Homo-oligomer: A and B are copies of this chain.
Amino acid sequence: MEKAYHSIGELAEATDTKVETVRYYERIGILPAPKRTSGNYRAYSAGHLARLSFIRRARDLGFTLDQVRALLALADQKKQDCGTVDALAREHLADIDRKISDLKALRRELSGLIGQCKQGTIADCRILSALSPR
């Protein structure tokens, strides 16, 4: 049988989170405060583990904590249609696409600059002049 409760350290390790971060999530109200042991240690249930896993995974996917809050709120009130969730994800995908194309533009620009300074002095460094006011 599974252990009924987990310490904060176990929870943190299981979800690849720092202990301080778990406490931070509790403080900002995204992870409910668990029961305490007689020694005042936090005692987390499987539900806490599930919720923290959800939060971490969504964070890994780049959702902000506010978006995670929204997703959790939706998940909590079941029986609604999940178009809202889909819309949230689509919006997020559009953000990601924007970032990717920005980074690609940046990459092109920067890689064009590299390797042009092999023996020059700062005075005629192409990277610095590319960054200088046009």
Shortest Cβ distance from residue A105 to the other chain B in the assembled complex, whole angstroms: 10
Instruction: Let me know if B133 and A89 touch, CB within 8 A.
Output: no
Instruction: Let me know if B85 and A96 touch, CB within 8 A.
Output: no
Instruction: Let me know if B122 and A75 touch, CB within 8 A.
Output: yes
Tell me whether A111 is interfacial, beta carbon within 8 Å: yes
Cross-chain contact of A96 among B50, B53, B107 (Cβ < 8 A): B107
On A, residues with C-beta under 8 Å from B are: 49-50, 53-54, 57-58, 61-62, 71, 74-75, 77-83, 85-86, 89-90, 92-93, 96-97, 99-100, 103-104, 106-107, 109-111, 113-115, 117-123, 125, 127-128, 131-134
Bound-state Cα–Cα, A78 to B129, Å: 12
Instruction: Let me know if A78 and B127 touch, CB within 8 A.
Output: no
Shortest Cβ distance from residue A133 to the other chain B in the assembled complex, whole angstroms: 4
Shortest Cβ distance from residue A103 to the other chain B in the assembled complex, whole angstroms: 5
A71, A96, A106, A125 pick with most chain B CB within 10 angstroms: A125
Instruction: Let me know if B54 and A121 touch, CB within 8 A.
Output: no
